[in-house]
Amino acid sequence: MVAAVAFTGFSARSRLRPHGGPAPSRRYERRRPEKTPLHRVVSENLENWLAWREAAERPVPGSVEEELRGYLECGLLCFGFARARCTGCGQAFVVAFSCKGRGVCPSCNGRHMTQTAAHLADHVIPPVPVRQWVISVPKRLRGMLADRPAAVNALTKIFLAEIERTLITASGVTAAADTPSASRPRLGAVSFLHRFGSALNHHVHLHACVTDGVFVPAAAEAACDTPPVFLPARSITQADLATLTERVRRRMIRWFRLAGLLDAAAAADMLAWENSGFSVDASVRITLLDRDVPSYFQSLEHLLRYCARPPFALERLSVIRGPAGRIAGVRYVLPRHKAATWVGPGRGRKSTRPGANGVVELTPFEFLDRLADLVPPPRKHRHRYHGVFAPNHKLRKAVTALAIGNIGKPREAANGGHGNEGRDTEGCGDAHQKPRSHDTSRIAWAKLMARVGEEFPLECPACGGDIRLIAFITEPGTIRKILTHLGEPLEPPPVSPARGPPTDWHELVQVHDDGDVFQSSPEELPAIDIHSL
Distance (Å) of CA 380 to CA 118, 189, 217, 303, 389: 21, 18, 32, 22, 19
pLDDT at 283 over 90: yes
Q: Are the beta carbons of 162 and 278 closer than 8 angstroms?
A: no
pLDDT at 435 over 50: no
Residue 402 vs residue 240, higher pLDDT: 240
pLDDT at 345 over 60: no
Letter string b/e over residues 501-524, b meaning 16 or more CB atoms within 10 A of that residue's CB: eeeeeeebeeeeebbebbeeeeee
The DSSP result for 44-91, as a single string, is HHHHHHHHHHHHTT-PPPHHHHHHHHHHHHTT-GGG-EEEEEETTT--
**Which letter does DSSP use for residue 207 in this model?**
E
CA distance 341 to 504: 26
pLDDT at 454 over 70: no
- Write out the H or E segment, with its range, that includes residue 27: strand 26-27
Give long-range contacts, CB 8 A cutoff, 24+ apart: 18-25.
18/298, 18/451, 18/452, 18/453, 19/294, 19/297, 19/298, 19/301, 20/294, 21/453, 22/453, 23/450, 23/456, 24/449, 24/450, 24/453, 24/454, 24/455, 24/456, 25/455
Backbone angles phi, psi at 97, to 5 degrees: -75, 155
pLDDT at 152 over 60: yes
Q: Are the beta carbons of 231 and 184 closer than 8 angstroms?
A: no
Q: Are the beta carbons of 19 and 129 closer than 8 angstroms?
A: no
Mean pLDDT, range 416-423, rounded to an integer: 41
Candidate from 123-127, 155-159, 370-374, 529-533 with smallest mean pLDDT: 529-533
The DSSP result for 88-99, as a single string, is TT--EEEEEPP-
CA distance 155 to 256: 10
pLDDT at 425: 31
pLDDT at 31 over 80: yes
pLDDT at 431 over 80: no
Mean pLDDT, range 335-364, rounded to an integer: 57
- 1: how many CB neighbours lie within 10 A of its CB? 8
pLDDT at 222 over 90: no
Band of pLDDT at residue 190, cut at 50, 70 and 90: very high
pLDDT at 323: 81
What Rg, from alpha-carbon coordinates, does the chain have? 25
pLDDT at 384 over 60: yes
Mean pLDDT, range 366-380, rounded to an integer: 90
pLDDT at 496: 84
Round the average pLDDT of the chain to a whole number and report it: 79
Q: Are the beta carbons of 367 and 97 closer than 8 angstroms?
A: no
Band of pLDDT at residue 29, cut at 50, 70 and 90: confident
Mean pLDDT, range 121-139, rounded to an integer: 94
Per-residue 3-state assignment (H helix, E strand, C coil) for 288-314: CCCCCHHHHHHHHHHHHHHHCCCCCCH
Mean pLDDT, range 248-266, rounded to an integer: 93
* Greatest mean pLDDT among 91-100, 229-238, 281-290, 502-511: 229-238
Candidate from 39-48, 281-290, 366-375, 483-492 with smallest mean pLDDT: 281-290
- 23: how many CB neighbours lie within 10 A of its CB? 11
Band of pLDDT at residue 235, cut at 50, 70 and 90: confident
Mean pLDDT, range 179-206, rounded to an integer: 88
Q: Tell whether the torsion through CA atoms of 245, 247, 248 and 252 is positive or negative.
A: positive
The DSSP result for 460-493, as a single string, is -TTT--BEEEEEEE--HHHHHHHHHHHT--SSPP
Looking from the CA of 275 toward its CB, the CA atoms found within 13 Å total 5
Mean pLDDT, range 239-245, rounded to an integer: 95
CA distance 339 to 347: 17
pLDDT at 220: 56
Three-state DSSP class for residue 316:
helix
pLDDT at 251 over 90: yes
pLDDT at 162: 97
CA distance 395 to 497: 56
pLDDT at 17 over 90: no
* Greatest mean pLDDT among 331-340, 357-366, 417-426: 357-366
pLDDT at 493: 87
Band of pLDDT at residue 95, cut at 50, 70 and 90: confident
User: For the chain, what percent of residues have pLDDT higher than 90?
Assistant: 45
Residue 9 vs residue 382, higher pLDDT: 382
Mean pLDDT, range 212-239, rounded to an integer: 82
pLDDT at 43 over 90: yes
Mean pLDDT, range 314-322, rounded to an integer: 91
Distance (Å) of CA 362 to CA 103, 322, 458, 510: 19, 13, 40, 11
- Residue type, position 93, single letter: F
pLDDT at 317 over 50: yes
Band of pLDDT at residue 330, cut at 50, 70 and 90: very high
pLDDT at 343 over 50: no
pLDDT at 256: 93
pLDDT at 88 over 80: yes
Band of pLDDT at residue 5, cut at 50, 70 and 90: very low
